[in-house]
Structure 1
């Protein structure tokens, strides 16, 4: 296994650093899985944990980056170890020394399928951003009012279908190729796409499904939900 990952340019390394920093803002003690078997690096992070033996409710973020040379790697690392290294990198550096420390992350054992992925419509990125912001406000209010007991509210908010959560904003659903009624896109996926910086104003997000998994493909990355 390689000790150093070489990305294609300094901008790609900085992008990885920003992504890891956003994920760390969601969980200061969180982890990142770096996985490659060739010249594409898959960087996975856990956003919402699942429950039960099927890990229902799991929400993962995925950012892919091009590598300058093929490598074989599959490690789970503390987010802090990665952000420390990217923060210290020079403006022209393309190398990420792989931290020796490993992390334990239950979500890393939940592997989404490689495919086939079936197209299931589109959603406006502005809708997902609005659902995420509204959900964050609702969760924040619950934390202020209920403290540690707000966990139930948090779970309920992020389990909603985005179309239900968009109730106060029906105009955001007009004219879009919406996903069919039998495909649930949970608000937790909108939260992940928004919090990880995957959304762009005015852009469309593709929805795909494979067995029990739903994937959102946005301009800045992917969100996978089970």
Structure 2
């Protein structure tokens, strides 16, 4: 007998549409993308590692009707997208798949400490400038120089730079921009928990392991 697939209902309007957009972006970069779903205590977290970005992306939301039991499963992003029901603000959890290595090493669910804020428009500007720099420098490479190795090295140089004094690497801003997390105005929260750093926006979070050096530029407002 096949087990009934859990159906989770969001408590807030627009969450299903946000999940739909998030999954579509993931699948644009990797058709076989997987996500890990953790639900319990009236909250759901959906974790992904976007292709080409060395970060974890997280969407969290409140649930209107908590599942009968806690959910912790890795699934196909494509199958999850098929189970999103925007009209009902809900989604069906598909069958589990064999997860990639990153799915077994998630950041903690609790214990996050806020240590600053950054303006969303400033992070967008920094990300756009870095993207422009990459394109300009890549275009200046001669045909014989424009190899995958050279382009990867250029990307690593740029995206490993610190995001101002936040200790986050620029790759966090790049990923947040590409995932559509930086829409709107206001302040984005900076949080830390152990070795993890997190850039949190209303539409989602980008999480990285700490280790980036400090640098000048984007200012941080303490909280």
* TM-score normalised according to structure 1 size: 0.75
Q: 2:121 aligns with which of 126, 151, 160?
A: 126
Task: Give the gaps of 5 or more residues in structure 2.
Answer: 210-223
Q: Aligned runs of 1:73-222 on 2, under 5 Å? A: 73-86=71-84, 89=85, 92-141=87-136, 145=141, 146-149=146-149, 150-163=151-164, 181=165, 183-222=166-205
Tell me, in whole angstroms, the C-alpha distance in 1 between the residues paired with 2:40 and 2:4.
11
Instruction: Look up the match of 2:208.
Output: 225
- Equivalent residues, number: 198
Unaligned residue ranges in structure 1 (runs of 5+)? 51-57, 164-180
Offset, 1:142:
5.9
Q: Distance in 1 between matches of 2:108 and 2:96?
A: 27
- Which of 4, 7, 14 is matched with 1:5 structurally? 7
31, 46, 49: which one pairs with 1:43? 46
Q: Contact 2:26–2:51 (CA<8 Å) still a contact in 1?
A: no
- TM-score, length of structure 2 as denominator length: 0.76
Kept after mapping to 1: 8 A contact 2:29/2:51: no
